[in-house]
Amino acid sequence: MKKVSIVSSALVLTASAFLAGCQETASTTGPIQVSNDGMAARTSNPTLVLSAPAAVSSNGDYGTAYAAKFLVDGSFSTYWVSSMRLFSATSTANVQLQYGSAVTVTSYKMVGRYDALKGRLPKAWVIQGSNDGSALVTDAVASTKWKTVDTRSNMDTLSQWKAGSPAYQSSLNLTVATPGSYTRYRLCVSQINGKNNGSNVTDLLEMTLSAKATATFTSNGDFSSEYSPAKAFDSSYVGYSDHWISANHAKFQGPANIQIAYSMPVPVDTYTIVGRFDALKDRLPKSWVLQGSNSASASAYDAATSGNWTQLDAQTNVTTWVAGGEKNGSTFGTLPTWMTCKRFPLKTKAVFSKYRLCVSAVSGSTVVDIHEIQFNRY
């Protein structure tokens, strides 16, 4: 078989990369952790990059310095190189990413080398998902234990893979054709861009999977169904009915709690409250806490002191709301003068699947009234 040269001139392995090769793959079984690839979690269904899977494996590596774990280590100086194979529908190079719980992957990113060895870039592949505990990375592509969620062909090095930044890297951001909820995913490469003469490899620097979170909204009391908690998380503030109003009391009886529950943990480091600054500005929140939880039993009805929740921020006697809101306080741009907003940074970045605001005092009204709550990551 033809000897394959591994070290390219453009991508020189560093000493740290070799050291990394000596480390064992971290084994975690906790909830899926997510990073946020520059996109704020402002909407109620943000797309989030899944961070390193609990386990990664392949059906063959070129060597321990090029093991599958280097595909998901966050470094572009390390890479997975498959073992040599024929590359065909029945001779694929496979790599599997396994998570602690099922997740619906909606998009993925592959980063490869775009240098003298760009012929190693995958040209045809499938992405498959499985919840079958007996499924193996070595299973044939046609195995019924795996469901194909995305199929690619003719991904050439001219019109598809292109020189990126830096020029010796190339990346593809692709949408999954038929997403499903799976605990494990695998990439099965059936063709590469170079010659398929029986002694070739595929080679990728990094691969990340992304999922779109969904959310549900609850409160411990609404004024009416017209002012449901979902109205505070719909990324819209334009209408006079486009807000959440808490249950009405003869005298405000806090805490009035509003909660968003995502389908997966969402990183947050600031939040913004958008409200009205008109004749009803006495409905603005004055004192509150923001809390986070990963507990399945955590609820909008829990007391503010509940052990189900972690306190993320506390504000007392906030009276500095201004017409039109803080400059750059929200992502809506310039607000009309009958509205207001304020942004509150968290002391520590939070990653929770549930967040809730517990308002204990308002500016005089019998209700609290919030047009929008934005959770951000800057």
Q: What is the closest distance, in whole angstroms, from the C-beta atom of residue 300 to Ca ion in the complex?
A: 42
HSE on the CB side for 223, CA within 13 Å? 18
Contact 230, 245 (CB under 8 A): no
Q: Nearer to Ca ion by C-beta: 206 or 222? A: 206
Phi, psi of 146 (to 5 degrees): -120, 140
d(CA 146, CA 185): 9
Q: What is the closest distance, in whole angstroms, from the C-beta atom of residue 56 to Ca ion in the complex?
A: 11
Q: What is the closest distance, in whole angstroms, from the C-beta atom of residue 24 to Ca ion in the complex?
A: 16
d(CA 50, CA 53): 8
Answer for which of 11, 32, 36, 70 binds Ca ion (CB under 5 A) is: 70
Q: Nearer to Ca ion by C-beta: 16 or 214? A: 16
3-class DSSP state for residue 117? coil
Q: What is the closest distance, in whole angstroms, from the C-beta atom of residue 20 to Ca ion in the complex?
A: 9
Contact 244, 227 (CB under 8 A): yes
Please enumerate in sequence order all residues whose Cβ is within 8 A of that of 358, keeping only pairs 6 or more positions apart, or say none: 254, 255, 256, 257, 288, 289, 290, 291, 304
Residue among 177, 72, 186 nearest 129 (CA): 186
Strand (E) positions, 59-156? 80-81, 93-113, 122-130, 147-152
HSE on the CB side for 205, CA within 13 Å? 22
What single letter denotes the amino acid at residue 113? R
Answer for which of 33, 78, 246, 272 binds Ca ion (CB under 5 A) is: 78
Alpha carbon distances (Å) from 146 to 128, 132, 190: 6, 8, 16
Q: What is the closest distance, in whole angstroms, from the C-beta atom of residue 73 to Ca ion in the complex?
A: 5
Q: Nearer to Ca ion by C-beta: 73 or 139? A: 73
Q: Which residue is at the shortest CB distance from Ca ion?
A: 78
Binding part of the chain for Ca ion, among 75-83, 225-233, 237-245, 310-318 by CB under 5 A, reads: 75-83
Q: What is the closest distance, in whole angstroms, from the C-beta atom of residue 79 to Ca ion in the complex?
A: 5
- By CB under 5 A, how many residues form the interface with Ca ion? 5
Q: Nearer to Ca ion by C-beta: 79 or 352? A: 79
Q: What is the closest distance, in whole angstroms, from the C-beta atom of residue 149 to Ca ion in the complex?
A: 23
Contact 253, 229 (CB under 8 A): no
Q: Nearer to Ca ion by C-beta: 52 or 358? A: 52
Residues of span 177-236 touching Ca ion by CB under 5 A: 206
The tokens for 161 are 């893979």
Residue among 205, 115, 98, 188 nearest 148 (CA): 188
Answer for which of 75, 160, 295, 331 binds Ca ion (CB under 5 A) is: 75
Q: Nearer to Ca ion by C-beta: 82 or 330? A: 82
Q: Nearer to Ca ion by C-beta: 204 or 335? A: 204
Q: Nearer to Ca ion by C-beta: 70 or 332? A: 70
Q: Nearer to Ca ion by C-beta: 20 or 127? A: 20
Residue among 106, 126, 18, 27 nearest 70 (CA): 18
3-class DSSP state for residue 249? coil
Site string for Ca ion, 242-281 (x = CB under 5 A): ----------------------------------------
d(CA 109, CA 207): 6
- Any contact of residue 309 with Ca ion (CB under 5 A)? no
Give the binding site for Ca ion (CB under 5 A).
70, 73, 75, 78, 206
